[in-house]
Structure formats: C-alpha cells, structure tokens
Structure 1
Amino acid sequence: MLLEILRHTPLWVYGLLLGLLLLGLKQSRDRRLGLRQAYLLPLLMVALSLLGMASSFGWQGGMVLWWLAGLALAATLGRGLAGQVRGRYHRASGQFEVQGSWAPLLLILAIFFTKYGVGVMTALHPSLFQPGPVAGLCLLYGALSGLFCARALGLWRLKQAA
C-alpha cells in the first residue's frame, strides 16, 4: 500500500520535499544572516502550515482559532527550547552570526509529513475527518509554526541584546 501511495504522489511533492530538505540541511551549519534572510524561513514555514491547514480543512473560523491557539502556545512555551538561538547579532553589519542547528530541519519535516499524511488520509478515508481530529490537526499545524516563531523571537532577542 505504501508503494501505491508513493506512486500516486505528484512529482512536484518530491521536488518540494527536496527543496525543504536542502533548506533544513543549510540550517545545520554555522552561518551569517541578514535580517530578511533570518526571518524568511520562519515566515515561509508559518505560511506553509497555514496553507496546509486551509487546503485540508478550509478557512472555517473554529479551525483557524485552533491553529492560532497552537501557534501562540508553542511560540510562548517554545521560547526555552526553540527560542534558544546560539549566536550573536552584529549591529555594524546588520547580520546575525548563528550556530547551526538540526531543529529547523526536524520542524520542516514535521510540517511537511503532517501535511502529506493529512493529504493521503483525506484521499483514502475522508470520513475520518470529524471535528475533533480536525481541531487536533489544526492545533498541531499551529504548534509546529509556533516553534518557528519562537526561534524568530530568539533571533529578535539577540538583536535587542546587541
């Protein structure tokens, strides 16, 4: 069954996965980032998560609220883990010097495979998507995005401390 699912996956999905893998692997190395570059990944992943939620379940008010609740909760609670960005901000150059981390790759893959799994389950068993499980999935999408927001807030704190 797994091979059948993989065969029916559109080719662009594999291209997206490859691009996301490369982006995540890049995060594992020490690097210097400008302001725009530093905040681009969190913004992209929040957008991917929100669009994943909306494309699977629509823009229903309740589902968006669950997504926002997950985002706010993880952004707040994730400050200790995801928000601990190792590095520093150089005011003169306007750049961050950030140590590499595998956490962004794990979060990227979590968002991708959550979206992929929901897509497969929607195609195979659409009747499974009742309000309770859908709310939980929206909460999960939001929470994964919230961890990226916590990381962005960690970068912002580095900048403020400089």
Structure 2
Amino acid sequence: MQTAAIILTHIPVWVWAILAFLVLMGLRLSRERRMSRLRLMLVPAIFLAYGAWGIENTFGFAATPILAWGAGLLTSLTLVRWSGWPGRARVEGGQYVVPGSWIPMGLMLAIFVGKFILGMGLAMNPALALQTDVAIGFSSLFGALSGAFLGRTLNILGLGRTNAQAAFA
C-alpha cells in the first residue's frame, strides 16, 4: 500500500487535470448534442494525431509499432462502421444530432489508462520501449481506440450525405 501512495504522490498535477477534462468531456457526450461537421471531426482528429505522435514519441519511427497502430485503427474502424454506432444520430437543420452515450467516455478513459500504464511502466523500466510485444500491444490498442472515434464520426457524417442525396432524388 505504501508503494501505491508513493507512486500516486509523484504523478504530476497536469495528469489529474487531463483526467478531469476527459471525464468532463465524457459527461457532455453522455447527453444528446447538436454538432457541426467541424466539431464532429475534431475529436477523431485529435485522437489520431495524439495517437500517432505518442507511438512515434514512445517507440520511435519504426515499422512495427506504426503497422500495429494502423492495424488496430483499421480493425476498429471497420467494426464501428459495420455496427452503425451511434444508431440514433440524425441530421436536423444542417446540424448533426448525436445521441448521448457513455461509450465515448469509456474510450477516452481507456486511452488515458493505457497511456498512464505505459508511462508508469516506462518510468520504472525504460527498456520496455525496446520490447516488440509492448510496442505492438500498446500501439494496436491506441490505434483501435482512435479508430472507434473515427468510425463513429464517419457513420454520423454519412447521414448528411444520405440526406443530401435524398433531397436531390
């Protein structure tokens, strides 16, 4: 128990601020919202850029982690696109109405926990960054989580194309 207390007291304050921000964002996404196209694209863009930067920053510009990240992203993207999530989204008055869901909070917290575990592991044992299984595991995890956000956004944006096509038919 003493070890946990030592670890927790050495975590920078900004880490807790990021966690609070993610929880706040997750709470906002748990309720139905009206969103513009740009705002819808913002979340996956941030997680794609942050994920790619994080992989390169942690494991270097190497083929294995980049390919693992890409494989995770494509797998998740495909599954989410196939699922149609979020199913009750609609377009009204040029804006996208997105139903509330706890899934985005879960995804954001999974990214946070994954980054936290990886950061703690690397702080205690920097050689982990050189282990292929660690690089593949975390890279594919972060790619999959980013792919879920991208798939969700593409599913919602697809509604706008469908409505526009129906209006011209």
Match of 2:139 in 1: 138
Secondary structure in 2 aligned to 1:97? Answer: strand
* CA 1:12–1:82: 2 relative to 1, 3 Å: farther
Question: 1:55 deviation in Å?
Answer: 2.4
Question: Is 1:84 matched with 2:93?
Answer: no
Query: What TM-score results when the alignment is normalised by the length of structure 2?
Result: 0.87
Match of 2:54 among 36, 40, 52: 52
Percent of residue pairs bearing the same amino acid type: 38
Alpha-carbon distance between aligned partners in 1 of 2:12 and 2:57, rounded to the nearest angstrom: 16
Bigger CA drift: 64-73 or 119-128? 119-128
Structure 2 alignment gaps of length 5 or more: 164-169
Say how many residue pairs are matched.
160
Deviation readout 1:91-136 (Å, 9 max, x if unpaired): xx32101110111000000011101100000111233441122112
Match of 2:10 in 1: 8
Matches within 5 A, 1:26-65: 26-65=28-67
* CA 1:110–1:14: 2 relative to 1, 3 Å: same
Alpha-carbon distance between aligned partners in 1 of 2:25 and 2:70, rounded to the nearest angstrom: 25
* CA 1:101–1:70: 2 relative to 1, 3 Å: same
Bigger CA drift: 78-87 or 107-116? 78-87
Alpha-carbon distance between aligned partners in 1 of 2:46 and 2:38, rounded to the nearest angstrom: 12
Alpha-carbon distance between aligned partners in 1 of 2:153 and 2:38, rounded to the nearest angstrom: 11
Alpha-carbon distance between aligned partners in 1 of 2:11 and 2:145, rounded to the nearest angstrom: 23
Secondary structure in 2 aligned to 1:79? Answer: helix
Match of 2:124 in 1: 124
Deviation readout 1:22-44 (Å, 9 max, x if unpaired): 11111000111111111111211
Aligned-residue Cα RMSD (Å) equals: 1.6
Bigger CA drift: 55-64 or 133-142? 55-64
Question: 1:3 deviation in Å?
Answer: 1.9
Match of 2:166 in 1: none
Structure 1 alignment gaps of length 5 or more: none
